[in-house]
Structure 1
Amino acid sequence: MALIDFNSRPPIPAFDPNASHLANYRRVYEQSEQAVKNQVETDALQEYLDIYDKLDADYVVVKAKDVETTFGIKASNEDISEFCRNQGARFIGYAGVDPHKGSAAVRELEYAVKELGLQGLNLQCFEHRLPANDKKIFPLYAKCVELGVPVNIHVGTNFSTDCLMEHGRPMFLDEVMVTFPELKVIASPPGWPWCHELVAVAWRHRNVFIGISAVRPKYLAVQNSGYEALLQYGNSILQDQMVFGTSFPMQPIERAVAELKALPLKEAVQRKWMYENAARLLGVD
């Protein structure tokens, strides 16, 4: 089974699970995260790596994050680069920079890609307290185009009551794509409660990919869940624009993979969701 996990957070010190502005996430994801904790016996990192060995995963994308201006937190590009380098070719790193830092953030992105070997940019817009079309971010989009790397943008609701929901609206991506048509964007998580809005943006812009991440895949097939459009369009006209991520440790890796495989997807479409589309984005075979 070919598999690329486009969103996974390894249990390493770079990621602080106790960030105060994300406390409400722990309430919302309590049951799912507890299922992860119940699987851990001794060495959390080794068990994490063993799961991907067991699944024979091809690649796993790990994303840095810089929200120092707004919340004083940074999972540094250096730490993510070091982790990926130490764990081998399976792990691919994305940079995280803070748009509020202006030209310094642009320089940091270029350094992360050219010197640290990171292969994309990660923007948690709600944590930056900016919509995706805020002009502070545009120099970073331009640099991504110049460097030929994609950008992952958090799209959809967030559960931090220190941030605004509206900063995750998919509609903001439309202006971004009109301005930067060559930019490749992974919109992840997949837009709830504005899933139809995200579908419309992705339908308009072939360089917008929808990341099925931070949601249990089974809910895409549940009537009135709000996610049904992702399955309907992702099984047809958007089948080449869907990628999959477990969002570990927000849910168990193996459970997320099993639920995705259980969706009523055409066999060829399932391969695209699980591997082929992400491989094209990452520039791997």
Structure 2
Amino acid sequence: MIDLSRIRAIDMHTHAEEPCGCHADDGYDDLQTAMARYFRAPWRHPPTIDETAAHYRARAIAAVIFPVDAERETGYRRYRNEEVAEAAARHDDILIPFASIDPARGRAGARDARRLVEDFGIRGFKFHPTMQGFYPNDRMAWPLYEAIAAAGVPALFHTGQTGVGAGMRGGAGMRLKYSNPLYLDDVAVEFPDLQIIAAHPSFPWQDEALAMAVHKPNVWIDLSGWRPRYFPPILLRYAQTLLRDRVLFGSDWPMISPEGWLGEFAALPVRDEVRPAILKDNAARLLGLTES
């Protein structure tokens, strides 16, 4: 179990990449190489879950970790949710496992979601509309959202531009339109008890994301995928005022390191009384790690 007194932050956004990169025939290695170049990531090969846990433990940071099930849309082979959960369980002092299910699986996906929460301790679910090729408000996803809401765990959605496919021919087939955060507004209305995390500064739709989060109290924003020095001023303004209780630290590891993100965040003009909420307290409350 995670001891909140021993950690200084909770990273809401880290990726479990291996063994997805072990299949030379499906193109995932090329995609990873292009992403590492886009983010200027320093590693040669994506870290294992064990290596990720060691990295975060050494820095006293807990981390939400997940795969992305985009096999149907992209052909990239899935990293089994059960395998991620079992690996995270070896490091339950520092890792918090989320799962990923293609919403096109309908009721079968909903059944899997219930099983993963009940039998494998999954604490939330990750969606990447651009990689998975769906609009978040497509009703085919309703059975899966219903199961997640009933389980009382959050759903995290990629929003905005993505580094996936950036600079590759045709963007590697990734269509940015699916990740406009405003599509989440319908989900927030239909599932008012589902806690929804809009991941990343949502370029070029930042205002839409902020408006939705202010209007819908079940919408949160994580700050992953961008280096803090590039955060738009309006995002920092809302993070310290109207949304100070629903903004979350996230790095996008392994593309951005938590220590690099935290170093840049420390240099931003953020009020001292707001920093603990963004870095740890909001996430602890969302994930049920504290009673407050």
Do they fold alike, i.e. is TM over 0.5?
yes
| 1:219 to 2:204 alignment | no
Q: How many residues are matched?
A: 275
2:267 aligned with 1:256? no
- C-alpha distance in structure 1 between counterparts of 2:218 and 2:120, whole Å: 25
Name the Cα RMSD after superposition.
2.4
Indicate how the Cα distance of structure 1 residues 47 and 86 shifts in structure 2: closer, same or farther if over 3 A, else same.
closer
Deviation at 1:228, TM superposition (A): 2.3
- Partner of residue 269 from structure 1, selected from 248, 262, 274: 274
8 A Cα contact 1:132 1:172, kept in partner:
yes
State the shift of 1:100 in Å.
1.2
1:7 equivalent in structure 2:
13
User: CA 1:48–1:98 in 2, change beyond 3 Å: closer, same or farther?
Assistant: closer
| Matches for 1:1-285 after TM superposition, within 5 Å | 2-10=8-16, 12-14=18-20, 20=27, 23=30, 26-27=33-34, 29-30=36-37, 32-37=39-44, 48-57=52-61, 59-72=62-75, 73-158=77-162, 159-160=164-165, 161=171, 162-220=173-231, 227-285=232-290
Structure 2: how far apart are the matches of 1:28 and 1:91?
Answer: 24
Percent identity over paired residues: 28
Q: Which residue of 2 aligns with 1:223?
A: none
- SS in structure 2 at match of 1:280: helix
Change in CA separation of 1:28 and 1:61 when aligned onto 2, cut-off 3 Å? closer
Deviation at 1:121, TM superposition (A): 1.0
**Structure 2, unaligned stretches of length 5 or more?**
1-6, 166-170
Quote the residue 2:4 is aligned against.
none
Q: TM-score, normalised by structure 2?
A: 0.86
Aligned equivalents of 2:208, 2:160: Cα separation in 1? 10
CA distance in 1 between counterparts of 2:227 and 2:175 reads 23
Residues 105/44 of structure 1: CA separation in 2 closer, same or farther (3 Å cut) = closer
Q: Distance in 2 between matches of 1:116 and 1:141?
A: 18
Q: Which runs of 5+ in 1 are unaligned?
A: 221-226
Partners of 1:169 and 1:31 in 2: how far apart? 21
**Which amino acid in structure 1 is aligned with residue 73 of structure 2?**
T
CA separation of 1:22/1:123 partners in 2, compared to 1, >3 Å: closer, same or farther? farther
- CA 1:231–1:15 in structure 2 vs 1: closer, same or farther (change >3 Å)? farther
TM-score normalised per structure 1: 0.88
